[in-house]
Chain A
Amino acid sequence: MRLGSILMVTVPSDPDDDTISDLQVRILSSMEGSTALGLILDISTVQTVDSFFARTITETVQMVSLMGGITVLSGMQAAVAVTTTQLGLTLGSIPTALNVDRAMITLQHLLEERRLS
């Protein structure tokens, strides 16, 4: 779904590795084929963040960034946040938000900040 210059992607709740990799490819080609400057990755239904998932998401955010886009990760469940941290994974320094509404605000701030700098 495209919201003005923001691309919003909902990650499925229990994706297999291929699905996550496909999602990465689809996100990158959508960013390329649009004027979107921002990406919201909605992971609110995702129940399991393991090392493969974290690595692919981190990689995707880096690639989007190389293409000039900014990503906000939205809606990580509390149990998932606890587990991910205990597992030793860091999702780098990806900006996060509690829900999609807040992610929109965060993203607009970040885009505005960048426009001014």
Chain B
Amino acid sequence: MTILDVAEIAIVNEQDIVVARKGIREAAVGVGFGLTDVTRIVTAASELSRNVYIYGGGGLVTWRVLLGDRRGLEIAFSDDGPGIEDLDKAMQPGYTSGRGMGMGMPGAKRLMDEMVVESAVGVGTTVTVRKWLLHRYE
């Protein structure tokens, strides 16, 4: 049996956000997450994919199943867009440079166990999130 534990989806147009959500939902269910955690993971992925689409001008969503002492799911959202000038500001609830509510970044961080943002102005942005199985109560 082959287990597909690495996958990627290019975010080119808006419907690709739905495609990424579907793939990540399947992966999260496959890892064994319960419904609430699956919903948390997919919702965070939806926020971060939309940021890739809107601010990054498109990019790549990649995920892999983490195996070892504990199982988990890692998802990376990368683009070679304009980058984020002020990371602290971007992480503040309510801050938006667009027409959003400024909830995507801080919300995704709360929904996941780990979130790392790497960004360079003029180069692009990569946001990596992880969720561990049995790390928290459902």
Answer yes or no: B89 CB below 8 A from chain A CBs.
no
In the complex, which residues of chain B have a beta carbon less than 8 angstroms from the beta carbon of A82?
36, 39-40
Q: Within the complex, what minimum Cβ distance (angstroms) separates B17 from chain A? A: 7
Q: Which residue of A lies closest to B93 (CB)?
A: A88
CA distance A80 to B38 in the complex (A): 10
B contacts with A: majority SS: helix
Within 8 A of A (CB), among B101-119: 101, 103-104, 106-108, 110-111
Q: How many B residues touch A, CB cutoff 8 Å?
A: 27
Q: Which of A16, A52, A79, A84 sits near B35, CB closer than 8 Å?
A: A79
Which of B3-11, B42-50, B63-71, B126-134 has 4 or more CB atoms under 8 Å from chain A?
B42-50
Docked CA distance A14–B46 (Å): 11
B11 → A minimal CB distance (Å): 12
Residues of A within 8 A of B22 (CB): 14
Q: How far is the CB of B135 from chain A (nearest CB, A)?
A: 15
Chain A 35-54 interface 0/1 with B at a Cβ cutoff of 8 Å (1 = within): 00000000000011111101
Q: Is A22 an interface residue when CB atoms closer than 8 A count as contact? A: no
Query: A55 CA to B96 CA in the complex, in Å?
Result: 14
Is B97's CB within 8 Å of the partner chain A?
A: no
Residues 39 to 77 of chain A near chain B (Cβ within 8 Å): 47-52, 54-55, 77
A83 in contact (CB, < 8 A): yes
Q: Which residue of B lies closest to A18 (CB)?
A: B14
